[in-house]
Structure 1
Amino acid sequence: MKYVTLKNEKLSQLGLGTWDLGEHTLKRSSEQEALVYGLAHGVNVVDTAEMYGEGQSEQLVGEVLTHFDRQKLFVISKFYPWHSQTKLLRASLEASLKRLKTDYLDLYLLHWREGEDLRQVLGDLHALKKQGLIKHFGVSNFDTADLKEALSLPYGTELFCNEDLYNLSQRGIEYDLIPYQRQNDIGLIGYSPFNSGTGDSIELKPSLKKLAQKYQVTPHQIMLAWTMRDFVLTIPKASSVAHMKANLAAAELTLTDEDLALLDQDYPAPSKKEPLATI
């Protein structure tokens, strides 16, 4: 397993995404087994949100956490922007903690911007951190201008990370956002490494097929390995043990400079600023 260190936290570059997990009764057992398998095989990061199934994903994660030493895991959740007012924020956090069966979060993220008072939100997150209810706080779906604004405000420099869409077909953040985050020691969590669903929306171009053949893996495993070539932490969803095993195998792949250059030909890096892509 590859690891990155962000603000003294040693995190597996492969995390466990949970969007759409916990919402389907017939799939729940398989999903739980997949999460348990991942955590038992070196993954220490779980990403969820109150939005996912209106708390059902958090409940699933909470059931899984009971099988492990909580202090060895890094649990992330997110709150709706309309829950960002002081009293609502605390209520959202307490509800998430209850569903997750834990008394603290390692990381709490504003899920996206929607007109909230960023100064007040950062102040409240700092207060929750001082109270021990969260260890770190950050943001999600922020572009460079959003981050610059946040860093100009009180407690903005405490931002742990920004979580954005990032995959072979969505590389826009490489132009200025990733360099800015690196410069300011803000971690990057890339969501949807297969774009959405099973990744069928990413065209399987010749370079991807060639590298899959070279390493005797699937194109999707190449996609996943590509996202972990730098300091990015990626959070694919796996709803079965078989899928989890495939993701774990991809985490062991190291693409060469020649491999990356080949992929660049079919999936080029941005040459100018692009609007922030989201799902």
Structure 2
Amino acid sequence: MKTITIGDITVPAIGLGTWHMGDHAETRDAEISAIRAGVEAGARVIDTAEMYGSGNSESLVGEAIKGLDRTKLFIIDKVLPSNASLKQLPKSLDASLAKVGTDYFDLYLYHWRGGVPLSETVEALRNAQEEGKIRQWGVSNFDVSDMEELLKLPGGKGVAANEDLYNLGSRGTEFDLQPWQEKREIPFIAYTPVAQGDRFGKNLTKNKVIQAIAGNHKATPYQILLAWVIRNGNVLAIPQSGDPVHARENVEAANIELSKEELFMIDSEFPAPTSKQPLDIL
């Protein structure tokens, strides 16, 4: 199973995303079962945020992890830009910790840039780290220029990861951002790694090459898309699923090793970027 190291902790390279989960009572039991199935299949990372359903996702995660060994989980949460100040971040963090039912987050991310000076947000994150409420801190939806600015700030080099949109239909970060982070040993977290099915009109799962490769591995097209995202060893993928079977399949995709020939076939269908692209954000 492919792994990735964030700070000094090594985790499987496919975790569990929870965006759009926890909002509907009729799907809650299945979503809790999906998180548990993913963990049972080997996932350690669970990714949530205070923005997701205004806390509904955090509460769902809290219910799903009850009774599980917290030390074996790696929980990621995120603070909204409007709450990323010295005054407000501690309050948001405490509220999120309470919803998830944990004393600390393994990784706490600044969800995207807002009006609070970046230097102030970094100071607030470092304070939370010193208090032991977060093990590590990072950022999300940052491009190269944002990361360069961050690393010039006092304490900025303490950033543990950057989470951005990345999938076979959205490869822009491969041109500059991912190489930049890899050179500095800053892990890249990929959200929406299977493009939310075929939401973006790329028809990824219906592509004949993807389907053929899936057949070669006795896998699903979704599993091939995930195996592709984590192929290079510096990316953590966090696909979301409210279905226990699908969640387990997602995690098991970390066991798939794509051949050079298969990677060439994929590149031929979905070419890598040859120039700087605007950062895709959802």
TM tier, shorter chain? Answer: over 0.9
Residues 14-73 of structure 1 show CA distances to partners (whole Å, capped at 9, x for unaligned) of 110000111110100000011011112211100000000100100010112222111111
2:37 is the counterpart of 1:34: no
Identical positions, percent = 42
| Structure 2, unaligned runs of 5 or more | none
Cα deviation for residue 200 of structure 1 reads 4.3
2:139 is the counterpart of 1:139: yes
Map 1:176-187; keep pairs closer than 5 Å: 176-187=176-187
Query: Would you say the 8 A contact 1:169–1:195 is kept in 2?
Result: yes
Question: Counterpart in 2 of 1:161?
Answer: 161
Give the one of 267, 270, 278 matched to 1:275.
Answer: 278
2:112 is the counterpart of 1:109: no
Question: Counterpart in 2 of 1:240?
Answer: 243
Stretch of structure 1 that moved more, 240-249 or 152-161 = 240-249
2:23 is the counterpart of 1:23: yes
What amino acid maps onto 2:198 in structure 1? G
Residues 106-132 of structure 1 show CA distances to partners (whole Å, capped at 9, x for unaligned) of 111010112320011101111110110
Map 1:23-172; keep pairs closer than 5 Å: 23-172=23-172
| Structure 1, unaligned runs of 5 or more | none
SS in 2 for 1:124: helix
| Whole-Å separation in 1 of the counterparts to 2:4 and 2:45 | 11
Residues 62-109 of structure 1 show CA distances to partners (whole Å, capped at 9, x for unaligned) of 112222111111100001101111121111000000001011111110
Question: Counterpart in 2 of 1:253?
Answer: 256
Cα deviation for residue 215 of structure 1 reads 2.0
Residues 125-144 of structure 1 show CA distances to partners (whole Å, capped at 9, x for unaligned) of 11110110110000000000
| Whole-Å separation in 2 of the counterparts to 1:133 and 1:72 | 17
Question: Counterpart in 1 of 2:198?
Answer: 199
What amino acid maps onto 1:80 in structure 2? L
> Aligned residue pairs: how many?
278
| Whole-Å separation in 2 of the counterparts to 1:246 and 1:44 | 15
Q: Bigger relative contact order, structure 1 or 2, given CA contacts below 8 A and separation 6+?
A: 2
| Whole-Å separation in 1 of the counterparts to 2:70 and 2:161 | 21
| Whole-Å separation in 2 of the counterparts to 1:107 and 1:7 | 10
| Whole-Å separation in 2 of the counterparts to 1:254 and 1:199 | 23
Cα RMSD over matched residues? 1.1
| Whole-Å separation in 1 of the counterparts to 2:81 and 2:252 | 36
Cα deviation for residue 8 of structure 1 reads 1.2
Question: Counterpart in 2 of 1:264?
Answer: 267
Query: Would you say the 8 A contact 2:12–2:254 is kept in 1?
Result: no
Distance 1:155 1:164, change over 3 A: same
2:216 is the counterpart of 1:214: yes
What amino acid maps onto 1:140 in structure 2? S
Give the one of 223, 226, 234 matched to 1:224.
Answer: 226
Query: Would you say the 8 A contact 1:199–1:220 is kept in 2?
Result: no
| Whole-Å separation in 2 of the counterparts to 1:205 and 1:240 | 23
| Whole-Å separation in 1 of the counterparts to 2:122 and 2:128 | 10
Query: Would you say the 8 A contact 2:86–2:123 is kept in 1?
Result: no
Residues 158-193 of structure 1 show CA distances to partners (whole Å, capped at 9, x for unaligned) of 000000000001000000100110111211100001
What amino acid maps onto 1:154 in structure 2? P
What amino acid maps onto 2:230 in structure 1? M
SS in 2 for 1:87: coil
| Whole-Å separation in 2 of the counterparts to 1:6 and 1:20 | 25
Query: Would you say the 8 A contact 1:17–1:48 is kept in 2?
Result: yes
